[in-house]
Amino acid sequence: MTSRYDEVYARAKTAPEAFWAEAAEAVSWTKRWDRVLDFDRAPFARWFVGAELNTCYNVLDRHVEAGRGAQIALIHDSPVTQSVQKLSYAELLDRTARFAGVLKGAGVGRGDRVIIYMPMIPEAVVAMLACARLGAIHSVVFGGFAAPELAARIDDASPKVIVWASCGIEVNRVIPYKPMIDEALKLATHKVARCVLIQRTAQRAEPVPGRDLDYESEMARAMPVACLPVLATDPLYVLYTSGTTGKPKGIVRDNGGHMVALNWSMKNIYAMKPGEVFWAASDIGWVVGHSYIVYAPLAYGCTSILYEGKPVGTPDAGAYWRLIAEHQVKVLFTAPTAFRAIRREDPEATHLSRHDLSRFEILFLAGERTDPDTLIWAQTKLNRPVFDHWWQTETGWPMGANCAGLGALPVKPGSPTKAVPGYRIGVMDEKDKPAPAETIGPIVVELPLPPGCLPTLWNNEDGCRRAYFERYPGYYLTGDAGYIDRDGYLYIMSRTDDVINVAGHRLSTGAMEEALARHRDVAECAVIGVSDSLKGQVPLGFVVLKAGVNRPDADILKELVQLVREQIGPVAAFRQALVVNRLPKTRSGKILRGTMRKIADCEAYAMPATIDDPATLDEIRSALRTVGYAGTTA
């Protein structure tokens, strides 16, 4: 297939309003727009001004009305409870309409906020869609988040209702949510009068009389509620990206531009067709879960998978292959760290041969930079296209991708390919001017941002301006660093904080990680810049070895130093790496490089709210002490 990418990208660049107006024809509106784009208050853009629609109608009702109510909409696959549940579009619509009735009975109306504090269960999706049905604004907070983080979000969003579950279930433990809910409600200044409690059989919670409504009892007597049209520019949800330091950063997503962009992406980026099975192996607490577990697949009429499990350990490194085969998944979207974990446990991919993956076509990776070695390993073992792509919570959908639906371009390992149509991406040099090709610098996007991206921060427009638009007027500052090659391919090397200055040379830690990842014994790695009295900063590596490696660490470390020297040069001053059992990560798989750097430099740090396992930081601190970095406590 010849790629249509260049033609489509050019059309989106030269006539963006016509381009997105055409894309909007695939969405159901109750009132059409007065203006496709309002950029009068630059840098803030508003799309489809004056239009009205309902997001829940677009993801559920219209498919049922079109005669596809019997199609499976959502598959909940939970190896931790050893259960699989399938909901058709008609069944999901019925549950959503009735839960909207529950929320309405609790006083929730258009513009009110609802916090959803839940694990990966169907009721969480129902709660999100029920809010959209009412024109209410949902804010999903990871189930199990610590009480202070939850309290900060309660105070910022001032919800009318909180929907919560009795517990979350991990591989070897059950996490009760009641202690966190009770403590957060005590800590929060904003008082929440009503909560809705979903009881899970693994562990029930004692409801607070007068506060907690029982989900099952309320659903049994609730009357279904119809969709309420809202403005395209009204908020659909708020998703927080920071902890309790200062004002929480609530990313706002609107209804109209969000629906148009996500619907367009399913066909043109992911090459999906209605009725096919799409799996985003993420969590609804992250933007990936919002966009590509819930809204995009359902808007496009696909079957979406809600997975309550891990890439390894539920029960083994073949968990993903089992699920792809069992549910006939066409496209999987997951984080590179998931594949690193699978590779570490099963380097030869022996589990693959036990499953029929004949319906599986494409693997998309995002969330953490995909090193070329991991991409090539996945390509080789799966014998299918593997595409890295790049986006952020702020954008809500991909900025850089190999748009499979337009005809895939040649893959360059290490690159998410080119800018997605609608985005005009550039790199800035040290003089705040557009950088030439092959030059590393801060990555920016020319304004206005396309539909689907953040219009603002919740109750914090000034903070939005300062964080994203002030540094480079006329551009959105992504916070990522990288370069664009002479073919227009984009390379995301690191966060801007991870571009280190070694004796006056600006170097990317991502490039060094690329070198380390090529070593035959390395499963995962991270490189940070640590303070040095002579050079300003020097790189320090951390590596996790593959299962079964029993060579002396010293031999491996010598080889790693030589690899960096060969591929980057002596200028990198890479002389030291540490072998650790695990790297500290967020629950979405992002490595906590900034926290590791603060520990190495003896700077105070707050325990990251989204950390997957706090004990990993103790291991990093211990490893640093062995080479003379004292570390510091949180």
- Mention every residue, 6+ apart, whose C-beta is less than 8 A from residue 309: 77, 78, 79, 80, 319
Q: Name the least confident of 143-157, 263-277, 390-404.
A: 143-157
pLDDT at 604: 83
| pLDDT higher than threshold 50 for residue 283 | yes
**5-309+389-482 and 503-625 in the same fold:** no
pLDDT tens-digit profile of 172-216?
A: 889 999 999 999 999 999 999 999 999 999 999 999 999 999 999
Residue predicted with more confidence, 629 or 539: 539
- Quickly state the pLDDT bin for 506 (edges 50, 70, 90): low
- Mention every residue, 6+ apart, whose C-beta is less than 8 A from residue 162: 114, 115, 116, 117, 154, 181, 185, 192, 194, 195, 196
Average pLDDT over residues 509-517: 85
> What is the per-residue burial (b if ≥16 Cβ within 10 Å, else e) of 103-125?
bbebebeeebbbbbbbbbbbbbb
Query: In this structure, which topology does domain 5-309+389-482 adopt according to CATH?
Result: Rossmann fold (3.40.50)
pLDDT at 247: 61
Domain map (residue ranges) of the chain: 5-309+389-482, 503-625
Query: Alpha-carbon distance 43 to 508, whole Å?
Result: 30
Average pLDDT over residues 241-250: 61
Average pLDDT over residues 220-230: 98
Average pLDDT over residues 44-73: 98
pLDDT tens-digit profile of 35-55?
A: 999 999 999 999 999 999 999
Q: Name the least confident of 16-25, 321-330, 345-354, 624-633.
A: 624-633
pLDDT at 1: 64
Conformation bin of residue 410: beta by default, left when phi > 0, alpha when psi is -120 to 50: beta
Percent of the chain with pLDDT over 70: 96
What the block records as the tokens of 75 is 């598959």
With H, G, I as helix, E, B as strand and everything else as coil, classify residue 333: strand
Average pLDDT over residues 20-38: 98
With H, G, I as helix, E, B as strand and everything else as coil, classify residue 123: helix
Homologous superfamily in CATH for domain 503-625:
ANL, C-terminal domain (3.30.300.30)
- pTM for this model (two decimals): 0.86
Whose CA is closest to 556, among 582, 531, 523, 533? Answer: 523
Whose CA is closest to 115, among 136, 88, 146, 84? Answer: 136
What the block records as the tokens of 195 is 């909560």
Residue predicted with more confidence, 534 or 182: 182
Q: Name the least confident of 2-6, 170-174, 396-400, 444-448.
A: 170-174
Q: What angle do CA 332, 336, 337 make, to 5 degrees?
A: 120
Beta strands in 546-590 (DSSP E): 577-579
| pLDDT higher than threshold 60 for residue 632 | no
Bridge partner list, 161: 114, 194
| pLDDT higher than threshold 80 for residue 245 | no
- Quickly state the pLDDT bin for 573 (edges 50, 70, 90): confident
- Mention every residue, 6+ apart, whose C-beta is less than 8 A from residue 173: none
pLDDT at 634: 47
